[in-house]
C-alpha cells in the first residue's frame, strides 16, 4: 500500500489530495503542522484526528513514506518538492507548483537525476467530475476535432481569510501563474496539444489600490499548431454568488461543442458539475455528479509501476513554462 504524508499545509487544496489518495487506497501516515494558515491545520485535526503530526524533517527522512503532498506557500512548493525527490519520494504538488523559471529548471533537473514523479494536481480538471466527463466525450469524438477552448476562472476574494503572502506576487507567483495554470492545463489536455505559444497576455489591479502589487485580473491567448485558447481569471466574484466562483469551460470542436458549468448553474439547476453537449445528433444536458475521478487512482498506479498514466511529466512542465511566460510577458492594464 502506498504511504503518503503532507507538508506545507498553507492552502485548502491539500484536502483534495488527501481525500483523493485515500479513496484510491493509499494510507495517510502524517502531516507537518507548520503552516501560515491556522484554519487549515484546525480543519485537518478535525477531519483526520487519528493522523499524527510529524515534523517536516522526520517526514522527509522516513524511508517508508512513498509520496509527499505539498500545498505550501506557492513560492516554497518547488523547493520542498526538490527536497522530497532527493529524499527518494514522489511528490504531488498543489498548483502553482512552480513560480519562477529558475525553479522550473531545478525541478526538471531533479526529476531527471532522481527518476521521481513531480505531479501538479490541477484541481479544476482532476477534481471536477464534469471536466473528467468532458475528457471522455472529447476522446470519443463526439464533437469532432477540438479547435478552441475558452476557460474562465473567477474567484471570490474572501479578504478576511487571506494571509499576507496572498498579496505578494513574489510569493504567490502572479495571477496568471497562480490561477491560469488551471486553464492552460485544460487547453493542452482537451486540444491534444503537447506544446503551445503565448500570443498575448495582460494583468491588472482594478479594485484594490490599497494593495498596489496585487493582481485581480488576468487574461491570455494561447496558440498551438492545432488550436487556440482564451483564458480569463479574476478576483471579482460577488459575495451573493453561492460558491467561490462560476468557473466555466467551452470546448469547441468541428462537429459540436461542450460547455461546463463546473461549480454552479446560476438561476438554473442546483448543485455543480453541469455539462451541456451539442453536436450533429443531440442537444442535451448531462449531470456529471456521479462521474468517477480517475487522477488519484492512476497516480497511485504510476507510483507503483513508474508510468505516466495520470499525467505525462512533460505536460506538467509545459503548463508551468507557459504560465510563467504568460506572467512574464503580461502587459499591465487598469492603472
CATH code: domain of residue 37? 3.40.50.720
- Number of domains present in the structure of the chain: 2
What is the percentage of the chain residues whose pLDDT exceeds 70? 100
**What are 120's three cell numbers?**
501538479
Mean pLDDT of the chain: 97
**What are 39's three cell numbers?**
484554519
Indicate if the pLDDT at residue 267 is higher than 90. Answer: no
E strand residue ranges, 216-273: 217-223, 228-234, 248-253, 256-261
pLDDT digits (tens, 9 = 90+) for 165-218: 999 999 999 999 999 999 999 999 999 999 999 999 999 999 999 999 999 999
Pick from 121, 138, 161: which residue ends a domain?
121
Q: Tell me, yes or no, whether 191 lies in a domain.
A: yes
Domain carrying residue 153:
125-293+325-333
Domain identity same for 84 and 204: no
Question: What pLDDT shows up at residue 155?
Answer: 97
pLDDT band at residue 159 under the 50/70/90 scheme: confident
Domain identity same for 141 and 208: yes
Domain identity same for 46 and 66: yes
Domain identity same for 11 and 93: yes
**What are 50's three cell numbers?**
487519528
Domain identity same for 169 and 205: yes
Indicate if the pLDDT at residue 269 is higher than 90. Answer: yes
State the Cα–Cα distance between residues 65 and 178, nearest whole angstrom: 28
Domain identity same for 116 and 149: no
Indicate if the pLDDT at residue 335 is higher than 80. Answer: no
Pick from 121, 156, 181: which residue ends a domain?
121
Domain identity same for 139 and 237: yes
Distances (CA, A) of 267 to 14, 75, 237, 271: 31, 38, 16, 11
Please enumerate, as own/partner, the contacts of 32-36 that have beta carbons within 8 Å and a separation of 24 or more: 32/5, 32/6, 32/7, 32/8, 32/56, 32/59, 33/9, 34/7, 34/8, 34/9, 35/8, 35/9, 35/10, 36/10, 36/73, 36/163, 36/165
Q: Tell me, yes or no, whether 320 lies in a domain.
A: no
Q: Tell me, yes or no, whether 302 lies in a domain.
A: no
Question: What pLDDT shows up at residue 317?
Answer: 98
Q: Is the dihedral of CA 46, 52, 55, 57 positive or negative?
A: negative
State the Cα–Cα distance between residues 14 and 22, nearest whole angstrom: 12
Domain identity same for 104 and 132: no
CATH value at residue 266: 3.30.360.10
Q: Tell me, yes or no, whether 28 lies in a domain.
A: yes
Pick from 102, 121, 140: which residue ends a domain?
121
Q: What are phi and psi of 16, to 5 degrees?
A: -65, -40
Q: Tell me, yes or no, whether 247 lies in a domain.
A: yes
Kindly state the average pLDDT of the residues 311-323.
98
Domain identity same for 261 and 223: yes
Q: Tell me, yes or no, whether 308 lies in a domain.
A: no
**What are 78's three cell numbers?**
518547488
**What are 11's three cell numbers?**
492552502
Domain identity same for 167 and 288: yes
Domain identity same for 29 and 130: no
Domain identity same for 140 and 265: yes
What is the percentage of the chain residues whose pLDDT exceeds 90? 97
Q: Tell me, yes or no, whether 219 lies in a domain.
A: yes
Q: Tell me, yes or no, whether 205 lies in a domain.
A: yes
Amino acid at each position: 500500500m502506498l504511504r503518503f504524508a503532507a507538508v506545507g499545509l498553507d492552502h485548502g487544496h491539500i484536502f483534495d489530495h488527501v481525500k483523493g489518495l485515500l479513496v484510491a487506497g493509499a494510507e495517510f501516515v502524517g502531516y507537518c503542522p507548520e503552516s501560515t494558515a491556522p484554519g487549515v491545520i484546525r480543519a485537518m485535526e478535525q477531519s483526520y484526528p487519528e493522523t499524527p503530526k510529524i515534523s517536516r524533517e522526520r517526514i522527509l527522512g522516513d524511508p517508508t513514506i512513498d509520496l509527499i503532498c505539498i500545498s505550501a506557500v506557492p513560492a516554497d512548493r518547488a523547493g520542498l518538492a526538490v527536497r522530497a525527490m532527493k529524499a527518494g519520494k514522489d511528490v504531488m504538488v498543489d498548483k502553482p507548483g512552480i513560480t519562477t523559471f529558475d525553479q522550473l529548471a531545478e525541478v526538471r533537473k531533479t526529476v531527471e537525476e532522481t527518476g521521481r514523479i513531480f505531479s501538479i494536481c490541477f484541481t479544476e480538471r482532476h477534481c471536477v467530475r464534469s471536466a473528467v466527463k468532458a475528457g471522455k466525450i472529447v476522446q470519443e469524438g463526439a464533437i469532432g476535432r477540438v479547435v478552441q477552448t475558452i476557460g474562465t476562472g473567477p474567484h471570490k476574494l474572501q479578504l478576511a481569510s487571506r494571509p499576507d503572502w496572498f498579496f505578494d506576487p513574489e510569493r504567490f507567483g502572479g495571477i496568471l501563474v497562480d490561477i491560469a495554470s488551471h486553464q492552460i492545463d485544460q487547453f493542452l489536455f482537451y486540444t491534444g496539444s503537447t506544446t503551445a505559444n503565448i500570443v498575448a497576455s495582460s494583468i491588472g489591479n482594478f479594485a484594490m489600490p490599497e494593495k498596489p502589487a496585487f493582481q485581480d485580473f488576468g487574461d491570455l491567448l494561447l496558440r498551438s499548431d492545432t488550436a487556440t485558447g482564451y483564458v480569463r481569471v479574476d478576483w471579482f466574484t460577488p459575495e451573493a454568488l453561492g460558491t467561490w466562483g462560476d468557473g466555466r469551460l467551452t470546448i469547441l470542436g468541428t462537429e459540436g461543442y461542450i460547455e461546463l458549468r463546473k461549480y454552479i448553474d446560476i438561476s438554473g439547476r442546483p448543485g455543480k458539475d453541469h455539462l451541456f453537449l451539442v453536436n450533429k445528433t443531440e442537444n442535451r444536458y448531462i449531470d456529471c455528479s456521479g462521474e468517477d475521478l480517475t487522477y488519484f487512482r492512476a497516480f497511485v498506479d504510476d507510483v507503483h509501476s513508474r508510468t505516466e498514466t495520470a499525467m505525462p511529466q512533460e505536460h506538467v512542465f509545459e503548463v508551468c513554462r507557459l504560465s510563467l511566460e504568460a506572467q512574464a510577458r503580461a502587459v499591465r492594464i487598469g492603472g
